[in-house]
Amino acid sequence: MTRSTTFAIGRLKAHALEAGRLRLDGGAMFGVVPKPLWERRAPADERNRIRLAMRCLLLEHPDGLVLIDTGLGNKDSDKFKDIYGVENAGADGRTALEDALASVGFSPEDVRWVINTHLHFDHAGGDTWVDPSGAVRLTFPRARHVVQRGELEFATHTNERTAGSYLPPNFASVDFTLLDGEREVLPGIRCLPTPGHVPYHQSILIESGGERLCYLADLVPTSAHLPLAWIMGYDVQPLVTLESRRAIYGRAEAEGWRLFFEHDPAVIEGRLAKDGKGFALVAPVAVG
């Protein structure tokens, strides 16, 4: 299995890190889209689940190593792993994310910045890990952790609809640097609020040497979700997602952005282009 894919964003060296796979219900992943339409793009297994990647992005920035999202981590029960079809074990008790980091020459201690797009378990679960004694520790002890202030608030005050996605051991012990809206956290690395999936979801725009790549996260989880209305049933504000997408697609198409897909099992990134009334990917880069 491919652990990592190295590419350039202008002068920045970047690595797509495969933090493992999971399976989620295909109906929930495609919201109101009928199954005969979505299953052509994402075939379902016998439990109606579709295969998804958990793909983090590592940037070799002059100010230090930056990691965007952290996958699931190692704190989940066997029952949880069965329900979600989790495959994220690495070698010798490590996680797939640690193995992916090692494959490009780094260890967790080397990471200086962790940016979480939001705090759902498949995006921030790897911020912490549980040691053999059962203690929860920081996975990246020397990193500054960044998330939107509203998202931390949303994650710590859950209700019956949102609680299943926010598991406190993933984030309760993390000393976050909190953002209020759009912010360039490092030169060329900009957090862009893209609400809808959750109210304070953010996507990350990376610019270097005239090139731009946007880590969309759950704004558009896979390339199959590119049509504006193909919005996940998981989104708490689907009509807000629609407008976040419309705004991002407009900029992406006008400025030639590449779009990075965190959950696509096959496609890492590609350039957005108009295709009739809709949008399509130009020059998609596949997982090796």
Binding residues for Zn ion, rule: CB under 5 A, are 120, 218
Report in angstroms how near the CB of residue 221 gets to Zn ion at its nearest.
8
Residues 190, 183: contact at Cβ < 8 Å? yes
Report in angstroms how near the CB of residue 92 gets to Zn ion at its nearest.
30
Report in angstroms how near the CB of residue 177 gets to Zn ion at its nearest.
21
If you write DSSP's letter for every residue of 254-282 in order, what string do you get? HHT-EEE-SS-SSEEEEEEEEETTEEEEE
For Zn ion, give the closer residue by CB, 98 or 218. Answer: 218
Could you tell me the two tokens for 212? 């731009």
For Zn ion, give the closer residue by CB, 120 or 212. Answer: 120
**Residue (of 199, 249, 198, 209) closest to 226 by Cα position:** 249
Report in angstroms how near the CB of residue 175 gets to Zn ion at its nearest.
22
For Zn ion, give the closer residue by CB, 23 or 120. Answer: 120
**Residue (of 113, 87, 92) closest to 21 by Cα position:** 87
What is the rounded distance in angstroms from the CA atom of residue 224 to the CA atom of residue 221? 8
- Chain position whose Cβ is nearest to Zn ion: 120
For Zn ion, give the closer residue by CB, 3 or 263. Answer: 263
Structure-derived torsion over alpha carbons of residues 213, 218, 219, 223, reported in degrees to the nearest 10: 70
For Zn ion, give the closer residue by CB, 18 or 218. Answer: 218
Could you tell me the two tokens for 165? 């996605």
Report in angstroms how near the CB of residue 217 gets to Zn ion at its nearest.
7
